[in-house]
Structure formats: C-alpha cells, structure tokens
Structure 1
Amino acid sequence: MSELNGRIGGVTQGYDLHAGWNGERLDGRIGGTFAGFDADGDVTAQSVSVRLGGRIDGDDVHLQISGDRVRGRYSGRIDGKDIDLRVSGDRLHGRIGGVLDGKDVNLTLNGVPVEVAALAAACAYKALEDQQAQDASAASSSSGG
C-alpha cells in the first residue's frame, strides 16, 4: 500500500493529511476526528470530477492532469477557487485559491498517483474552508452580531 502524507494550510490553521492508496481506493483522514465529508465521482490519470459533501451543501472538484501540471476548479465557476498544482519529483505543490484567500499545497507522494494526491489536496482544502466558515460563524454569534 502506498502512503500519502502532508499538510495543507499553515501551522495553526491547517489540516494534516494521512492516507493509504491500494491502487483502487484511498483510505485515510483529512483533518480531525469529527470533521469529514463524502466524496463521489470519477478519478482517472487524466482528470478528476468529484463531488465533496452532499448535493446541497457540497463542492465540485474538476481537474485536468497533463504532464507535470494539475489545473482545475474547486466549488463552481462563480464562487469557486482555481487549482494550480505542479509535480516536482516526489512532491505535489502549488496553490488552491488566489493570492489572498488561497492555501498552499505541499504533499509528498510516496508512490500515490498524482490524481489521487490532487483530489486529497482538494479534500483538505474543503475541510479547512469549512472549519474557517464555522469559526467565523461562532465568532459573530459570540460578539452579538
């Protein structure tokens, strides 16, 4: 079994990623014990088209893989984020989102296919974005506003 390990986001506002890949199935965890979501869709060596979360409160991930580049979109045309990743040796790195509101990606592949690692990065991004939205909601509730 291949291992995929890394982190998305910063030291204090990030999520660890630990997963195994057996050639057909990715099994692991992104984030903590209680945060999680379903993933449903197609993953090939050339593209990823997956829904993260439910039909109503979920996000789409669409990626194209060509050579050492992974490019695509997370969460839709209007309110979504660009995904721009690059493979260098045994690393997948780049950014999901823009300069101000995006997150860096830096994963060690350890034999995991690029398409699986890119999907895992998008899953970690979703977990981090969901947590930040929850924190912002709690902060506005506690401030009375």
Structure 2
Amino acid sequence: MAAPKMVDIRNLNPQQLSEVNQRLETELQVLQNCHQELVGVKKKFITSREAVSELEGSDGAQVMVPLTGSLYVRGRFSDDTKVVVDIGTNFYVEKTRPEAIEFFDRKIKYVDENMEKIMPQMVQKNQSRNLVESEIVQKMKAAKLAKPSK
C-alpha cells in the first residue's frame, strides 16, 4: 500500500475541512471505543487474578457456582490447588493456581501493551482534529470579513 499523501489543510475549502474533521472524529471514536474495551478486559483479568490469588486455604469452603447469568447453586471447593481457566472462545483449561496467576499476568501485560499502542494514535488524531477545527473557524471568520456590508 502507498503511504497516505500529506495535504496542507490551509489549501482546503470549508466543505473539505468539514469532511476531514468528520473522518478524524470517526477514527478518534473508534480508537476511544477500542481503548475502553481494553480497559474493561483488563479489569476482568485483574479481577480473575485476584480471585485465584485469594483461593489459597479455601479447601472445603462454600461457594456459589453460577449456572447462568442469574442462577447460582451452592458448592464446595474440593481442591484449592487447581482451577479451570477460560482461555478464550469458550475453551477451558485446568491450571494450578500459580499457572493461572501467571496466565492472567501475561494477559494483563498484553492488554497494557495494546493500550500503549493506541494512546499515541488517539493523541495524534485529537491534535489533528483540533487543527482542522481551528482552520474551519479561521476560514469562517475570513468568509464573514470578506462579505460586503449592505
């Protein structure tokens, strides 16, 4: 693919600037949504890691087991050294507690790395949008001054 061609926004008319601004706004919204989704995923991994960490010494303890989103049954831990982990797309793997903690640590690190990749893009798109909006305002002011008074 060819690299995008740079255009001097001062050479664009207000309609073109508005189109560029709309495109930047859409791209920024997509990046913000992606960032928010990553934040939610990270919170889930952190919560899961904390839950696994707190299992030690819970052999025989009572627990509520979710069968559906709103249906739970009572259960007891038979073995606090092994857990079943959802590794994605509804695949579950039995792991020891340290393996599960290490799995969640890796996932948290991976999400953090992706969030770090998105942040500079969000900042750049926001700066570009601000420049375009500023140019639109300047063009509108210039157009008002250029109109003859009656």
Q: TM-score, normalised by structure 1?
A: 0.27
Higher strand share goes to which structure? 1
Computing the radius of gyration from Cα coordinates, the structure with the larger value is 2
Bigger RCO (CA 8 Å, 6+ sep): 2
